[in-house]
Amino acid sequence: MPDLVLDYHRLRVPLDHPDSSVDTAKIADRAVTRAKLEYPTVDVPMLYLFAIGKAFLDLMDGNRFTFIITTDSFTDKQIAGGQLMKAAESTYYEGFYARCQADPRANAYLTRIDTSTAANDVVLDKAVGGTITNLGTQAVNLSDDTCYIYGISTSGSSIKTIRYSRWSVSAGSPSFGTPTTAISATDTTFASGTFAARASNLGGPGETAAGLHAFLRAPASPGPQALAIIEVEAAGDGSPESPFRPSLSRDLVDVLELQNAPDFLRLEKRKYDILKSKGFTEEEIKILLGYVPQHQVDLDSVSWGAFEFSEKSPTNIVMVYDGNPYRSDAIERQKEYARKKGLRALAPPRDYSKAIEQYNKLKKDFSHWLAGKDNYAYQALGWEELELFAGADFYYGELLEHKAHYDQLKQVPEWEITSRLSTLYSELSKVTVLVGERDNHLRKLSELLKKGW
C-alpha cells in the first residue's frame, strides 16, 4: 500500500503540490541544488568536530580561558549546551559564541548567564575590537550551582539567545527539550564567523568537557512577539563592566523587601549582609568570594532586544518581550520613562503591513540601519515565515547586491552556503501566507543558486 501511495504522488500530472515547491526539474535547472556536505554541521557535538579535525581547543589569557572553536566559518547556525553556573568561578567570557572573528573575546556575538545582576541574568552581547555592546537581556533571576541549557542562534541578521527545558543524548541523537527564545535582537556587524563554547576555568566546576559537549545545531525559530517598542538613549563605556546599552529605568530594592523572593536570592542576601556587618567593602567581598552576592533586585527590569543598536546614534530602538517577575507594571514604567524624556514608546504592530509601515517611518530617523523591513517585521512579530524572508534578503544582499560583508561570507565553505540556500528555498516553498512576498523571495534564492557568487 505505501508503494502505491508514493507512485500515485510521483506520477501525478500535473504535480499535486504548488509551483513554488522543490521538484526535480527545478533542481536540474539549478533553481535549487543539493549540496554535497563535506561533514555534518547540524546536531553534532563539538567533541565530534574536534575528533575529525573541524574544531580545536584554544587556551587563552595565560591558560585561564578554554575555548572549543570550529575551524570553519558559518552564517546561520546555533551552538548550545549545558553549563554549570557558579558565581565565584564565573567570568565575563563564559558562554556560547557565534560568528567569531579570530579571538572570540574581542570580536563575536556572545550569550552568557550572569547570576550577579539584579534580575537581568541572561545576556546577549556583541564584542567589536574588545568593546562590548549589550544587545539584549532577559529579566530573570537564576540560581548559582545550577546547570542551565542555553545557546546562541544566528540566522541572517537575527541574533537570539535560546534556553531549553532539558538536554539528553540517546543513541547519538541529542534532545534539547522545549526551546524558548529568551532574547531576540537584530545586528549586522558580523555576517559569518566561527562558533565557539567557552568552558569554565581549568579545574573549575564546568571543566573543559563542558565546551566539548556543546552541540552545533540549525538556527532556532520562531521568535517572541514584541509587547512594546521603545526609543532609548545609550549608556555605558563599552567595557565588560559597563557595556554600551540602552538607558532604561531602574528601581533597585533590597531582596528582603520582596515577598516572593526565591530562597537562593535570600541566601545570597544573607552572605552579603554577614560580610558587610564584619566591615568588608564590596571590593573586598569580590576579592574574597570572587563576586559580590546579589542583594538587590531591579523591579523595572524587562526582557528586551535591540534593533541595530549603535552607541554613535543619538537614540536607538529596542523591542520589549516580557515584563518583570516581581512587578506587573514594569513595561508601562519603561514606556513612561521614555515619554518623559521626549522619546517614543510605540504600540507593536499586529500584522505584516503595519510592521512595514512602522519600519519605513523609523528608518527615516535611523540612517545607520542596514537590516531591512523583513528583519524588523520578524523581530516585532516573531513569525517564522518572516525570518525566512529576511534570510533570503540577507544572502541576496550580501552575495549579489550591496555585498557589505562579502569578504566574510566568502570564508564560509561553498557547500555550506549552497546547503543553507537550498534549505531556505525548501522551507519558503511551504509557506502559504503572504504569497506575493514568498514568491519574490523565492525568485531571489533561485537567482543566487543559478548565478553563484
pLDDT 10s digits, 239-277: 998 999 999 999 999 999 998 888 989 999 999 999 999
Q: What is the pLDDT of residue 158?
A: 98
Q: What is the pLDDT of residue 290?
A: 79
Q: Is residue 34 very low, low, confident or very high in pLDDT (cuts 50, 70, 90)? A: low
* pLDDT at residue 97 tops 50: yes
**Long-range contacts (CB closer than 8 Å, 24 or more residues apart) made by 364-371:** 366/308, 366/313, 366/316, 366/317, 368/308, 368/310, 368/312, 368/313, 369/307, 369/308, 370/157, 370/188, 370/308, 370/404, 371/157, 371/186, 371/187, 371/188, 371/307, 371/308
Give the CA distances from residue 370 to residues 115, 221, 385, in Å, rounded to whole numbers and listed in that order.
34, 22, 20
Q: What is the pLDDT of residue 18?
A: 45
For residues 178 and 164, is the Cβ–Cβ distance under 8 A? yes
Q: DSSP states of 228-253 as a string?
A: EEEEE-EE--SSSSS-BEE-----EE
271: number of CA atoms within 13 Å, CB side?
Answer: 21
- Taking residues 122-133, what's their average pLDDT? 96
210 against 20, higher pLDDT: 210
For residues 320 and 230, is the Cβ–Cβ distance under 8 A? yes
Q: Is residue 62 very low, low, confident or very high in pLDDT (cuts 50, 70, 90)? A: low
Burial class (CB in 10 A: 0-12, 13-18, 19+), 46: buried
Least confident of 123-127, 217-221, 234-238: 217-221
Give the whole-angstrom CA distance, residue 183 versus residue 166: 18
C-alpha cell at 369: 540601519
The pLDDT > 70 percentage for the chain reads 85
Q: Is residue 295 very low, low, confident or very high in pLDDT (cuts 50, 70, 90)? A: very high
Q: What is the pLDDT of residue 83?
A: 78
Give the whole-angstrom CA distance, residue 88 versus residue 91: 9
Q: Which of 316, 313, 152 has the alpha carbon at shortest distance from 230?
A: 316
Q: Which of 26, 238, 170, 195 has the alpha carbon at shortest distance from 104?
A: 195
C-alpha cell at 321: 518581550
- Taking residues 172-184, what's their average pLDDT? 82
121: number of CA atoms within 13 Å, CB side?
Answer: 22
Q: Which of the given ranges, 12-21, 219-228, 340-349, has the highest pLDDT on average?
A: 340-349
Q: What is the pLDDT of residue 7?
A: 45
Q: Is residue 311 very low, low, confident or very high in pLDDT (cuts 50, 70, 90)? A: very high
What are the tens digits of pLDDT across the range 408-448? 999 999 999 999 999 999 999 999 999 999 999 999 999 99
Q: What is the pLDDT of residue 94?
A: 83
Class of domain 44-251+299-383: mainly beta
Q: What is the pLDDT of residue 143?
A: 82
- Taking residues 155-171, what's their average pLDDT? 85
What are the tens digits of pLDDT across the range 389-403? 999 999 999 999 999
Q: Is residue 116 very low, low, confident or very high in pLDDT (cuts 50, 70, 90)? A: confident
Least confident of 144-158, 193-207, 425-439: 193-207
pTM: 0.88
Q: What is the pLDDT of residue 85?
A: 66
* pLDDT at residue 126 tops 90: yes
* pLDDT at residue 13 tops 50: no
How many residues does this entry show for the chain?
453
| Mean residue pLDDT across the chain | 88
Bridge partners for 286 per DSSP? none
* pLDDT at residue 208 tops 60: no
Q: Which of 50, 101, 109, 103 has the alpha carbon at shortest distance from 77?
A: 109
Residue 364's identity, in one-letter code, is: K
Contacts of 416 (CB under 8 A, 6+ apart): 35, 37, 41, 72, 74, 75
Q: Is residue 117 very low, low, confident or very high in pLDDT (cuts 50, 70, 90)? A: confident
Extents of the domains making up the chain: 44-251+299-383, 252-298
Bridge partners for 322 per DSSP? 303
